[in-house]
Amino acid sequence: MSTTWKITKLGEILTQMSRQEVIDPNKQYRLLGIRLDGAGPFLRETKLGSEISANMLSRVESGDFIYSRLFAWRGAFGIIDSDLKGCYVSGEFPTFATNPDYLDLNFLLYWFRLPTTLKAVVAACTGSTPLTRNRFKEKFFLALDIPLPPLDEQQRIVTRVEQLAAKIEEANRLRKQAANEATALLNSAMNKLLAQADKKSSWRLGPIAAFAEINPSRAGNVNLSLADLVSFVPMRAVDDITGTIAWPETRLYNEVAKGYTWFKEGDVIFARITPCMQNGKAAIAYNLVNGVGFGSTEFHVIRPGPQIIAEWLYAIVRHKAFRDDAAAHFKGTAGQQRVPQSFLEQKEIPVPPLSEQHQLIKYINELVARMDALKRLQDRTATELDALLSSILDRAFKGGL
């Protein structure tokens, strides 16, 4: 850090603003939220005053610096731009103004993306739990020391960081594009395979229920003592990307004997609730403790019969076209929509002879292996790009850019 940089408390250069208004029940209020990791404020929703439980709200103005008390530890800081001028926030979103002759707010925003700065925020947070209820109160915010160069140097640093950040963002965009293209390739391959159904007389076409048992009964099928161990699969244990039970738990049978979905080794489990179903949350139940699994009640269980292998059934239910059709048959209220059992029972699928199923799955698995290798590379690249931005910010605030 240059000797011309002055250590300054935020309270010396920022002034907290108070523009509280009593809520008018007949007025429309545009309400803001703040994204994490320095991504800034956004219009969350618009509500009539009569729909808001609070008595007062605070108005924000263009050029305000704002943060979330609850999620400051996750980098929920930002600047109000002209599009959000006149929006409203609760008291959980303190706002501040500054003299633009002394401080470039983008310089401040980048400073709050430094790991060392966020570490100081975490240390100052108070609350009843160690995570989201921790509040970063204004007195702690204003007491933070920031190394502050002259305004022209702040602006030069902001320009340089933005140039480098733009290159990182472009690299991230290309990374995501490659991953999406890989997924599209797999869907295209499945489309071509399934299109063969009309051309091959050896393939059968019929409802899933003709080839598999849907949500089989547990009665008489689980012969365990209450002290035996079983696998437990909450919804979060199924990896959306790989389509596997990536994080299973082990529990006593006594703990899960009631109130959970039951399945056994080789069954296909399929999330029935949105958005889990649309994200591809499905898996084959492999390597279950004692061959038995229990999991979320939001899973459908599909047990392959003698004419279909689990891998072929799984490939079909994970296919985007299948999930799109399932979504079109959702039932329930908004936010609680589910794929009904009747859809799985009646949905027609193509089923090749067993020998062909094994051959096709071998081909699909080769594609999946290549796609997974690409995704692992992309994940590594994403981690490296995140670290690169942190390194750039660290150098910037040490006067090294």
Q: Is the pLDDT of residue 17 over 80?
A: yes
Rounded average pLDDT over 243-261: 91
Cα–Cα distance, 323 to 279 (Å, whole number):
9
| DSSP result, 213-275 | EES---TTT----TT-EEEEE-GGGEETTTTEE-S-EEEEHHHHSSSSEEEETT-EEEE-BTT
Q: Quickly count: other Cβ atoms within 10 Å of residue 3's Cβ.
A: 6
Q: How many Cα neighbours within 13 Å face the side chain of 11?
A: 8
The answer to whether the pTM exceeds 0.75 is no
* pLDDT score at 367: 78
What phi, psi does 252 have (nearest 5°)?
A: -70, 145
Place of tokens 């908004």: 334
* pLDDT score at 385: 63
Among 236-250, 288-302, 371-385, the range scoring the smallest mean pLDDT is 371-385
* pLDDT score at 69: 92
Cα–Cα distance, 243 to 11 (Å, whole number):
50
With cut-offs at 50, 70 and 90, classify the pLDDT of residue 161: confident
Tens digit of pLDDT for each residue in 361-384? 888 888 777 776 766 666 666 666
Tens digit of pLDDT for each residue in 350-366? 999 999 999 988 888 88
Position 335, amino acid: G
With cut-offs at 50, 70 and 90, classify the pLDDT of residue 260: very high
Name the percent of the chain lying above pLDDT 70: 86
Rounded average pLDDT over 288-299: 93
* pLDDT score at 401: 65
Name the percent of the chain lying above pLDDT 90: 47
Among 109-113, 285-289, 379-383, the range scoring the smallest mean pLDDT is 379-383
